[in-house]
A and B are shown apart, each in its own frame.
Chain A
Amino acid sequence: MNGILSLPPLSRRAIKVWHRNLTVFIRTWHVNFFPPLVEALLYLFAIGMGIGSYIPEVEGQPYVTFIAPAILTIAVMNSAFFECTYGSYVRMYYQKAFDAMIATPLSIEDVIAGELLWGATRSVIYVVIMMPVLAAFGVISLPLALFAIPLAFLGGLMFAGIAMCFTAVTPGIDTLNYPAFLFITPMTLFSGTFFPLTILPVVLQYLALALLPLTHLVAVMRMLTLAAVTPVVLLHLAWIVAVTVLCCIIAINLMKRRLIV
């Protein structure tokens, strides 16, 4: 059969799958609209201002300003990751939606690509809803921070791809808890989110940079929201693009292997 790294044939029909998910999302907008708002406020108050009041400054910034990009980035990660694990798994396994779709001119590659695009889109939506809140509290620097929106798409696509790889190999919905707890939760804490990577031992710093995709996304996001972009941003972006492309390709091939028998 096809190699796991072979380039999957894609068509514009992937957009149809994306469109289907968007339609459902819009119909249930009231349950989708408030979590980002509430989450942004919770983080700002509890961690930024609560814990932050004990912390004078981090890397020359008020603590709440330091964590603002982390709030955005974690939202990017979670919305794409959970959409393309639990969400996609439910559509694939319980709703048999993919089976129904591949009986039309859509191919399985189109279907999975559409799901990945949708995962990334959810990240964008989340960030777009959160940004005004953060801006209102003056913790992000506009207009440069607006680049967080395209970045959310890229980062979302990366986490969608990673998530879909897990979805493609998970034996059941319960086992999706493993990547959620063993990968996402630690990453949320150890990626330069709530404290700078530099306070970790050097070995761990390198490990974080090598293995935790969130570190790169947080780093870029922080440069944007603090309006302090340095050339290192290119290295981070290159890392993100490479991992995104790789994971999306692997995800599509693994899914095809799982579903086309």
Chain B
Amino acid sequence: MNKVPSLHGPVSPTKDIRPASIPDVIQAKNLYKTFGSMTAVDGIAFSVQKGEVFGFLGPNGAGKTTTMKMIACVSPKTSGSLVVLGMNPDMEPAAIKARIGVVPQETNLDPDFTCFGNLFTYARYFDIPDEAAAQKADELLEFVQLTEKRDVPVEKLSGGMKRRLILARALVNNPEILILDEPTIGLDPQARHLMWEKLRALRAQGNTIVLTTHYLDEAARLCDRLVIMDNGRILVEGAPADLVREHAGQEIVEVETSDDVVACLQDLKVPYEMAGDMILIATGSSRDIARVLLDRCKPEKVITRPATLEDVFLKLTGRKLRE
């Protein structure tokens, strides 16, 4: 069963700084998915190493969920190659699914059961014997801090509790890879921190985690590496800090837009970007820029802050709303 995936080390000829000894547990090349005439995933390539947290970011409709579903063997790829744990999802879906855990974007707990019942029933689908299943269910309820809700029907849970229960459900089979599609959607800050803590604990145990999220601070905190997708394509890949440095610089100065400021900036030949009612200036030395602006352009309001993943995201995917 525990065949070591055969693909090792650097695979893409582009910059690949990862040590050659850590195997890839997921590898996609030229992966496509179409729905009729609509191309949801448009020839992407990526690889996920054992033990890392790998993120998929992108605006609504970018193709993140579609990619997750192909990895999870619930939606067949249209073309290209996809290898999960050394196996082909088209050929050995049951063997792959036995070794992964999935948190779907859409909550699909079984409303006919309690919290315990959900985990217990789900464990049975993995051929886990009843006694072990019951023990595992209780263990996981404790892990996601739902022991008090053990015998409560799932409809009576809050949204955040349901999300936590789904994470517990994804863990019943001790998966080697966790596939989490927006695991923290709709969670309050406390629940989100708890979820992060749990995910870090899982990572520390050597689990590989693939996740999607719209919370860029979350991605920056959790992900070892991530990709930003748009329109079914991968725009960039890298460690969050590297991406920020490469694409957004170190610091950002935000100035409230006015004709005077724009004219002034053009005068000074400082490159800037318009973002709604603010002007953004990426820079290595925000203080100097801010001082010059305050001295010469008479702006209403100036903010300086470190560049974030959000700046990268918005720069690469644009600011227009997605339908």
Residues of A within 8 A of B (CB): 11, 13, 16, 19-20, 23-24, 95-97, 99-107, 260-261
Contact = CB atoms under 8 A, between A and B. Distances in A.
A105 B110 contact: no
Contact of A24 (B102, B112, B127): B112
20 contacts: A11-B94, A13-B125, A20-B121, A20-B124, A24-B112, A24-B113, A99-B74, A100-B108, A100-B109, A103-B72, A103-B74, A103-B97, A103-B102, A103-B104, A104-B122, A104-B173, A105-B98, A105-B126, A107-B93, A261-B35
Interface of B: 35, 72, 74-76, 93-95, 97-98, 102, 104, 106, 108-113, 121-122, 124-127, 173
A20 B110 CA distance: 10
Nearest first, the 6 closest Cβ-Cβ pairs linking A and B are: A96-B108, A104-B125, A105-B94, A100-B108, A103-B102, A24-B112
Contacts of B95: 105
Given A16-B124, A106-B94, 11 more contacts: A11-B94, A99-B104, A99-B108, A100-B104, A100-B109, A101-B125, A103-B102, A103-B104, A104-B173, A106-B125, A261-B35
Nearest to A97: B110
A102 B75 CA distance: 10
A23 B108 CA distance: 18
B108 A97 contact: yes
Contacts of A19: 124
A105 B127 contact: yes
A19 B112 CA distance: 13
B106 A16 contact: no
A96 B75 CA distance: 15
Nearest to A101: B125
A203 B124 CA distance: 52
A24 B124 CA distance: 14
A168 B75 CA distance: 18
Contact of A95 (B108, B122, B173): B108
Contacts of B109: 100
A103 B121 CA distance: 13
Q: Which of B102, B108, B113 has the most CB of A within 10 A?
A: B108
A36 to B, nearest CB: 21
Nearest to A1: B76
